[in-house]
Structure 1
């Protein structure tokens, strides 16, 4: 398949549809190298990666569940289980962390966009290696208790959690916007 064909057919796989096997360490490192090859004005690398394997995902799940229950003490066991399993839905999850900060020449917005580009490159790298992937945020990307558990500094943000694994099934395409609705030509 050519790169053009792959880009034309790229489709996220929902995290709940991802199963083992996931990428081994060498493959994941290659995927992260690809993810880091994004536009980066000033060569600041305004992002970093936190790899969450199954064991770390289970530990982090306990923190997620505790935070969820602290906010919703009436949560059902089913809701608690969903929260506890948030980082074990796929064999590996990568938190793409935006480290955007004030800079005399490079606007923070450009740095944030670079982190988003790293998320997309990681999706493409997963697909290029034969895996499925999904870029998700959800409430756990914004809750300070979870960000602290991930080791984020106060100025860092999660640009996305990229869940990676083997798709249970091939996903059908979803409707895409018509160019006439999203393109303005001057």
Structure 2
């Protein structure tokens, strides 16, 4: 599994209706994208209390071939580049993904927390602790699914959770889910 995200920070007065219409039109195109475990079309909206307007899709890939086809195979990521310029694409190697009690329900919200691992520590300990936290999170009411991944170039750990409703008092960046492509999600949770 591989996690990937790009973030498009938009002006404060940007009409997020443009993004909502774009997702409504294009979101179903990735529903059965080969190699994709899931794609959460995420936004932060100042009108709903967010600090910024942002479009920030988050992906969990079953294989790198699908991720490569998406990024430089034309038609998909090219549309983002043409509309907004080429954003930085962050990616992490997956540690584990877990289905929650609401896996069969639509996802309405998402949370993402990112932390750097201490430079003088073997990653086994902090990643192991993150996996224990992941398994606890996955049992919470309202959890659709949750994943932990690591960027070993920065030694950065990301914990991403999809929720069927409001996340409650969970730390991290909060997003609204506009569409969730889940054609091959079950393969993530072997």
Do both proteins adopt the same fold according to a TM-score greater than 0.5, normalized to the shorter chain? no
Whichever of the two has the greater Rg, that structure is 1
Question: Under a length normalisation based on structure 1, what TM-score does the superposition of the two structures give?
Answer: 0.32
Structure with greater strand percent: 2
